[in-house]
Amino acid sequence: MPSTHQSPLQPGSTIGILGGGQLGRMLNLAAARLGFHCHIFDPEWASPAAKVAQFETNAKYEDINAVLNFAKTCDIVTYEFENVPSLTAKTAGSAAPLHPGARALNVAQDRLTEKNFIQNEAKVPVALFQSVDSVHELRRAIKKLGLPAVLKTRRMGYDGKGQFILNSEEDIEPAWAAMQNAPAILEQFVDFKREVSVIAARSTTGEIAAYPLIENQHKNHILHTSTSPTTGDDGRAQALAIQIMNSLSYVGVMATEFFELHDGSLVVNEIAPRVHNSGHWTQNAGCVDQFELHIRAIAGWPLGKTQPKHKMQMTNLIGNDINSLPIYAKEKDCFIHLYGKKDIKAGRKMGHINRIIV
Ligand code: AMP
């Protein structure tokens, strides 16, 4: 049975984090400010999060005994990536309260389940989609949705990985071959004006808080900059994000990514049941940042202020961008966040900078 914890969780308690990447690292730093200890579970020794943590366990996510022993040392458990295997999450959740819960994880892990949930249960618009399990079904889906369209694996896709844009009939065979028979969905290609996101939290008490709307620009399918506040109807986007969180009885920070269409309407691209790259600017905006917000939400603390004092822009430092560090270090109103990763690799997120722009 899950151990009961006092609500709100007391300083000195231990928060378990499944995953040791940069998101876990920044969650850990925020938790430490509030007097909590963190225990990181990651297959690799000295992950970015473990380098700043009090405790670490190194084992495979499939090592159920290791997961159980880890969770028994924790007062609550959370995760920093959505591909935590469901048995791992279930096992951790049997020994300590798991926030966000297993349902959020199941929904976010599978694009088909996610789209069905958002459209039919949360009643929030998504791009038109069809389930596709064979080249025959792909042809049928194209008849319904038309071209161009985007074929995506149902599971394990991120930063544009596992995706294929189909522009003509000739793209059908190569697109299906690229899926390697993995279950997929076909989405209508959205001719969007821009991509925006909402970072919001719901606590164990049901309290809700949201940051202003964020505008996101990508380079090579990877997030490049996030700017907030931005033009647009904060309230409408926030209301849709909150509708999804309430439908999931969600606890923690959740990111909702939208396509904004030319008529100003919003359709959801995807949700992330965790802190999110597009929310990193909150760290230097003069309010409670998204990492502390998540810790407060799962610990049952009041959520605090999410209204930024400044307009902010976050820029990711990807691969060799990190070599420009001496330039950023001299810049006024520029805040540097590095993840402590050993090797520079193309496409690897090494850190980010947050600039106050107004
Ligand atoms: P995703 O991994 O689903 O977030 O997709 C990565 C990026 O591909 C998005 O941020 C968009 O820029 C683009 N994209 C994904 N789906 C579509 C779509 N249905 N229509 C147009 N662009 C898309």
Domains in the chain, start-ordered, CATH in brackets? 14-108 (3.40.50.20), 128-188 (3.30.1490.20), 192-356 (3.30.470.20)
Rounded Cα–Cα distance for residues 319 and 324 (Å): 11
Q: Virtual CA dihedral for 228, 18, 209, 292, nearest 10 degrees?
A: -70
Ligand 1 atom nearest the C-alpha of 127 is 19
- Please choose from 83, 119, 147, 150 the residue to mutate so as to test ligand 1's pocket, defined by most ligand atoms within 8 A of CB: 150
Residue nearest to atom 19 of ligand 1 (CA): 189
- Three-state SS string over the chain comes to CCCCCCCCCCCCCEEEEECCCHHHHHHHHHHHHCCCEEEEECCCCCCCCHHHCCEEECCCCCCHHHHHHHHHCCCEEEECCCCCCHHHHHHHHHHCCECCCHHHHHHHHCHHHHHHHHHHHCCCCECCEEEECCHHHHHHHHHHHCCCEEEEECCCCCCCCCEEEECCHHHHHHHHHHHCCCCEEEEECCCCCEEEEEEEEECCCCCEEECCCEEEEEECCEEEEEEECCCCCHHHHHHHHHHHHHHCCCCEEEEEEEEECCCCCEEEEEEECCCCHHHHHHHHCCCCCHHHHHHHHHHCCCCCCCCCCCCEEEEEEEHHHHHHHHHHHHCCCEEEEECCCCCCCCCCEEEEEEEECC
Ligand 1 proximity of 189 Cβ (cutoff 6 Å): yes
Task: Identify the pLDDT of residue 2.
Answer: 43
Q: Cβ contacts of residue 88 below 8 Å, gap of 6+?
A: 18, 61, 62, 64, 67
Residue 178's Cα: distance from chain center in Å? Answer: 25
Q: In this structure, are strands 312-318 and 222-228 parallel, antiparallel, or unpaired?
A: antiparallel
Ligand 1 proximity of 328 Cβ (cutoff 6 Å): no
Ligand 1 atom nearest the C-alpha of 192 is 21
Ligand 1 atom nearest the C-alpha of 216 is 10
Task: Identify the pLDDT of residue 155.
Answer: 92
Residue 120's Cα: distance from chain center in Å? Answer: 22
- Please choose from 215, 269, 270, 271 the residue to mutate so as to test ligand 1's pocket, defined by most ligand atoms within 8 A of CB: 269
Task: Identify the pLDDT of residue 158.
Answer: 65
What pTM does this model have?
0.96
- What tens digit of pLDDT does each residue of 300-341 get? 999 999 999 999 999 999 999 999 999 999 999 999 999 999
Q: In this structure, are strands 312-318 and 129-132 parallel, antiparallel, or unpaired?
A: unpaired
DSSP bridge partners of 210: 200
Ligand 1 proximity of 127 Cβ (cutoff 6 Å): yes
Hunting for tokens 């970015």 — which residue is that?
48
Ligand 1 proximity of 160 Cβ (cutoff 6 Å): yes
Q: How far is the CA of 122 from the centre of ligand 1 (A)?
A: 21
Q: Cβ contacts of residue 177 below 8 Å, gap of 6+?
A: none
Question: Which regions of the chain are under pLDDT 50?
Answer: 1-5
Say how many C-beta atoms besides its own lie within 10 A of residue 236's C-beta: 15
Tokens of 256: 């909702």
